[in-house]
Amino acid sequence: MSMKVFALIVLVLVPFGDALSRDDFPPHFLFGASTSAYQVEGAANEDGRKPSIWDTFAHAGNANKYPGNADTGCDQYHKYKEDVQLMTKMGLDAYRFSISWPRLIPGGKGPINPKGLQYYNNLINELISQGIQPHVTLVHFDLPQALEDEYEGWVSRRIVKDFTTYADVCFREFGDRVKYWTTVNEGNVFADGGYNSGFLPPQRCSPSSTRSLLFNCSRGNSSTEPYLATHHMLLAHASATNLYRKKYQDRQHGFIGFNLLTFGYFPLTNTSEDISAAKRAQDFYIGWFLNPFIFGEYPDTMKKNVGSRLPIFSKSESNMVKGSIDFLGINYYSSFYVKDNPDSLQIKDRDYTVDMGVKLQSIFGNGTSPHEFAVLPWALHGLLVSLRNTYGNIPIYIHENGQQTDWNSSLEDWSRVKCLHDYIESLPDILRNGINVRGYFVWSFLDVFELLGGYESSFGLHYIDMSDPTLRRQPKLSAVWYSNFLNGKTIDPMITMEVQKNPSVVLSTTFSNNPILQMVQRKSTSSS
Ligand SMILES: *[C@@H]1O[C@H](CO)[C@@H](O)[C@H](O)[C@H]1NC(C)=O
Ligand SMILES: *[C@@H]1O[C@H](CO)[C@@H](O)[C@H](O)[C@H]1NC(C)=O
Ligand SMILES: *[C@@H]1O[C@H](CO)[C@@H](O)[C@H](O)[C@H]1NC(C)=O
Ligand SMILES: *[C@@H]1O[C@H](CO)[C@@H](O)[C@H](O)[C@H]1NC(C)=O
Ligand SMILES: *[C@@H]1O[C@H](CO)[C@@H](O)[C@H](O)[C@H]1NC(C)=O
C-alpha cells in the first residue's frame, strides 16, 4: 500500500472510529444465521419422526470422540416461536435451517408424516410473518436410517430416485414460501467423513494405515465409496433441480444450490510442485463437485490420480449435472498451506486422502481456547478470487462462518465478535472486486450439538445451559454485536478496540494430508 493511500485511510478512520456499517452493503445483501434439523430440533422420538443415520451414529458413541446426542437438542421443535422472536429482535434477514427427511417422510420413501408437514409449515409461516427469508437445506448429514438399512444410502444409485421424490414433496408443500433451496450440506465433508475417513455417519471406511489409529469402520471401502457417494449426490441434486425447473420454476421462481465446506489452499512454497499441489487439493475438495456443476465433468487432476475408481457421467448425465446450480453455498472457517507429496501416490492401499498426493499445514489460531480458528479475511478473499477465476462469477452465499469456543466459556465471547467483525468488514472489498457474494450467515444461531465436538465446543450466538430444563437462550456478546450491526446502530468503539487486540496467528507444525481429519485430530487432542 502506498503511503498516500495509507494516510488517506488513517484520515478516514480516525475521526469516525469503527467504519463498519450496514450501509456499506448493497440493499439486497442478506445477513442471517444458520442451524440444522438434527442439531436444533430435538423431539427425536416424537410425532412420528424416525431415526436418521446421524441419530444412529450419535447413539453408538459418535465414533468414540465425544459423548451425547441431540435427542432433545435445543428443542426448537417446541420453541420455534420463541426462536423466531429472537431472530426478529436481532434483525436477521434470513434463517438457514434444514428439513429432517425422516421427520417429513419417516421411511425415507412412502407416506408423508402429517405432523412433520405441520411443523415445517408452522416454522416457515412464523418466519414469513416476521419478514425473515427461509433458506432451506434438504439433507444436512441426516439421511433416513431406513434407506441406509435398505440399500446403503448414498452408495447406491437408488438414492437418486428417493431423494428426488423427497425434494418434490418439499417443493410442492413449501415452495410457495421458500425461494432458496440447498439440496445437500457439505457434500464434500459427508463423502470424506462418511465414506473415506469414517469420522461421520454412516461411518464407512476400509481398514488402512492412514486412518485406523483414529477410526475403525466395520464396513465400507475408502478406495471406491467416497467417489460413488459423491457421484450419486451430484446426480440426485441434478435430478431434483431438473424436476424443479420443469414443474415448479414458472410458479415458484426459486433458486437451487449446493453447499460445500471450503478452505483456502495456498502453496507452501513457490515451487511449481507446491503450486500444482495447492490446485490439486482445491480440485479434490471443491472441484470434485464444482467441475461437474460448471463443466459437466470431474477435474483432470482427479481423473489422473483416481483412474478407473472415479465414476463416469454418461453424456446425458453430464448435461443434466452441468448448469444445475443457481448458486453455491460455502461454509468457511479455515485455510491451509499445501505441500506436494508424491510419495503418497506410491501407497498400494489407495483411498481418497492418499489420491490427493498432498500434505497440508493448517493455519491455526492462537486464541484463548485451543478450539479457536485463526481469523484470516485475506484467505477467504483469496479463496473467492480463485473460485471466480476457475468457475466464473456464480452467485455465492456464505452459508456458514463463525468461531468455535468451549461450550461453557464466557457469554462475553470476544473472539467470536472479532471473527464476525473481521470477516464482515472484509466483505465490502470483496464485493467491490466484483465477486458475486449475495449473503452471509453466521454458524450458528444457537449453541448446538456440534458435528465435530458434540456439547464440548460451541459456535452459537446464544448460549444454552444444557443442565437447565427450560433450555433458556442467553444472548452472548456476539449476538448483541451482530444485532447492533444489523440494526444500523453505532458499534461500541470499545468492542473495536478489543477485537483489534491479539491478532496473532501461529502456524502449527504438524502435517497431515486431510484437512477435515486435521480438524478432528485437533479437536480430540485439545479435549483430552
Ligand atoms: C475396495 O474395492 C476395490 C474395487 O472393487 C477392491 O479392489 C478392494 O479390494 C476393496 N477394498 C476393500 C478394503 O474392501
Ligand atoms: C482400531 O483397530 C486397531 C486394530 O484392532 C487398533 O489398534 C486401534 O486402536 C483401533 N482404533 C480405535 C480408534 O479404536
Ligand atoms: C511467492 O511469490 C509471491 C509473489 O512473488 C510472494 O509474494 C510470496 O511471498 C512468495 N511465497 C513464498 C512462500 O515464498
Ligand atoms: C501464541 O501461541 C504460542 C504457542 O502456544 C505462544 O508461545 C505465544 O505466546 C502465543 N502468542 C500470543 C500473542 O498469545
Ligand atoms: C457446562 O456446564 C454445565 C452446568 O454446570 C455442566 O453440566 C456441563 O457438563 C458443562 N459442559 C461442559 C462441556 O463442560
In this structure, the residue with its CA closest to atom 8 of ligand 2 is 213
**Residue 517 domain-assigned (yes or no):** no
> In terms of C-beta density within 10 A (0-12 exposed, 13-18 middle, 19 or more buried), how is residue 378 classed?
exposed
Task: Say what the pLDDT of residue 236 is.
Answer: 98
Name the pLDDT band for 216 (thresholds 50, 70, 90). confident
Question: Is 400 assigned a catalytic role?
Answer: yes
Ligand 5: centre distance to CA 466 (Å):
7
**506 within ligand 4 shell (Cβ under 6 A):** yes
Look at residues 87, 95, 125, 119 and name the one whose alpha carbon lies nearest to residue 473.
Answer: 87
What pLDDT is attached to residue 412?
87
Helix-then-strand count for the chain, H and E: 21, 14
pLDDT band at 447 (very low <50, low <70, confident <90, very high): very high
Residue type, position 297, single letter = E
509 within some domain: no
Task: Indicate whether 434 pLDDT > 80.
Answer: yes
CB 405 within 8 A of CB 463: no
In a domain, 433, yes or no: yes
Closest atom of ligand 2 relative to the 215 alpha carbon: 13
Name the more confident of 425 and 369.
Answer: 425
Q: Is residue 310 situated within a structural domain?
A: no
Q: What percentage of the chain exceeds 70 in pLDDT?
A: 87
Number of structural domains found in the chain: 1
Distance 366 CA to ligand 4 centre (A): 6
225 included as an active-site residue: no
Q: Which domain holds residue 170?
A: 20-299+326-491
The pLDDT of residue 272 is above 70: yes
Ligand 3 pocket (Cβ < 6 Å) reads: 269-270
CATH (domain of 388): 3.20.20.80
Work out the average pLDDT over 244-272: 97
Q: How many whole angstroms from 362 Cα to the centroid of ligand 4?
A: 16
> What would the pLDDT profile of 57-78 be if each residue is shown by its tens digit?
999 999 888 899 999 999 999 9
The answer to the question of residue 11 being in a domain is no
Residue 164 is assigned to a structural domain of this protein: yes
Q: How many residues are listed for the chain in this entry?
A: 528
pLDDT tens profile 129-188:
999 999 999 999 999 999 999 999 999 999 999 999 999 999 999 999 999 999 999 999
Helices (H), 53-113: 53-59, 76-90, 101-104
Residue 100 Cβ inside 6 Å of ligand 1? The answer reads: no
pLDDT for the residue numbered 21: 86
Residue 15 lies in a domain: no
Q: Is the pLDDT of residue 501 over 50?
A: no
Instruction: Return the ligand number nearest the Cα of 224.
Output: 1
DSSP 463-504: EE-TTSTT--EEE-HHHHHHHHHHTTPPPPHHHHHHHHS---
Please give the distance, rounded to the nearest whole angstrom, from the Cα atom of residue 207 to the centre of ligand 2. Answer: 9
> Does a structural domain hold residue 311?
no
SS3 category, 430: helix
Which pLDDT score is estimated for 500? 46
**Atom 10 of ligand 4, residue of closest alpha carbon:** 366
